[in-house]
Chain A
Amino acid sequence: MIKLNDLKISYRIGNRVIEAVNGVTLTIPDGSIVGIAGESGCGKSTLMKAIYGDIQSPMSLSGGSIEYGMKGADGLPVTTQTIRREWFKSISYIPQSSMNSLNPVIRIRDQFTDFPGTDSNKKRVLERARAYIGKLGLPAEAMESYPHQLSGGMRQRVMIALATFFQPELIIADEPTTALDVVVQKEILLLLMEVQELMGNTILVVSHDMGVHYQVTHKMLIMYAGRVVEYGDTESVFADPQHPYTKMLIDSLPTIGDDSMRGVLASMAGAGGDRAYRVEPELIEVKPGHFMARPSQIVGAAA
């Protein structure tokens, strides 16, 4: 279980400080797929980086804390300071650009063994990896290949194989299917769900694609302006969105045969056009397991 306590992440640019994540309090249950949505600049990628523990200048943790609820090799609870030691052991990462996240001049095989991982015996790792990629629908020869010899879908399978090979407790996937065509997207998402069901790890998926969230995730987190506007079970969020911003996001999904939106800007429909929300950090529980930012504080036309 991961707990974020009033988490604040800021960027220092010259003398300005920008609070990209501005007070997020959340509990992510173990073994669930949590989707994170929101417009560009809403802080979702910063939140992911912070949870992954990749906090580097000019980014800094300016307030709050993250509890990972897992123990490191030394038996102490993992914190933001020690999470780096868990990279690709109990926490892993699937990058956005699978096309160029693999070193073009090194064989896939060697990219399975050039980091510490959980096992220092490279031969054993390779043997197990060879068997493992077969389960993910990759031919054994893929291990001996160079990245440019694999298709986009195969490369993303390699990324998933790398991220799940050591059976981590937490996987962070940053727009894992953005660069792929829809058919391959579906295959990759199904694969991710399959692996998750098998291993029972927690996956955080960042995506702009509400369709992806609807298909894959158990829980949805909607962010806006560095804060959470809504968080709840995916079914409930899609069926009964509470916050006008969430409604707009869901309305942005085109429906076959529905022409009512034709000629109308999506952001103008539903919420009345003014998107300058003020979002309060406190969440209220609307229904069991379904939270939203306090509505009375919303400035602008509410739906």
Chain B
Amino acid sequence: MSVDFWINVGVLAGIYGIFTLGLQLNAGFIGLLNFGQAGFMAIGAYAVGLLVVDFGWSLWLALLAGILLAVIGGLFVGISSLRLRSDHFAIATIAFAEIVRYVLQNAEFSGGNQGVLGYDEEWRTLSDWALAKLALIGLGDYTQLPLFIAVWLAFLVLLAVLIVLQGTPWGRVLRGIREDEDATAALGKNVFAYKLQSLAIAAALAAVAGFFVALNVTFLYPSVFDPTFTFFGYAMLVLGGFASYGGVVLGGILFWTLLEGTRLFDTALSAGQQASLRFIIVGFFLLLLSRLRPQGLLGNRAEMRVRP
């Protein structure tokens, strides 16, 4: 029985792992405090849902469009707000994500409070096909397994791409900007352009994560894209390791195991108290980690620098 539960944890760890890769690229490698990731995720997910349901697009084409729209969103946020100091930028990006959420909840085009449903036929066909194959090796009962495989394939491929990018001259400039923005600028690098690129890529990653969220919940609704999930992403990031892509994998697995695993305990507490306790634990976790090992489990302390 429990296998299902852990497949679910794996799916969430994978989805928010992709999401957090973007945060890592921003915060970990160029020193950009992007707190609007949930907003980009919402843009990607809703684009997929609406293009399929309202315009009859293929799911896969809609995914590409969703990524594109999220990138446009990232460019828009970046061009307007990148010149702000880092804490102001963080607040501005949260506000952006909240505006996206309020628009989705209140506008007509997005289905408003009634959400978006029925965009996942193509995925279900594929998933059923995969399940039939899995049944051959005795795994046909785990209906979430195809999604798990798809999410982790995407996660690992994107991870590999980012690691490769990190070794290129482009990646080295990013780190240079984080270490000393003025010096990098003095070397003739366009710091603004690099930051913008980093943000756009993060938005694209958020859109991919949003696509998988859409497949997982089968129903798009604004509360799925609450800013809390951006905070969760950062928790995964610092848990796994600052400026470490591998850390995102570890952080994702540990964080979701913690968050979902705490549901499993049977305590004498009331349901309300137990639910509160889960978030108290997450809160303490963030506090302790920031204090005791700010660079995370796989991070390197020397990398830990975000300029004000």
Do A and B associate with each other? Answer: no
Which A residues have a C-beta under 8 Å from some C-beta of B? Answer: none
Which B residues have a C-beta under 8 Å from some C-beta of A? Answer: none
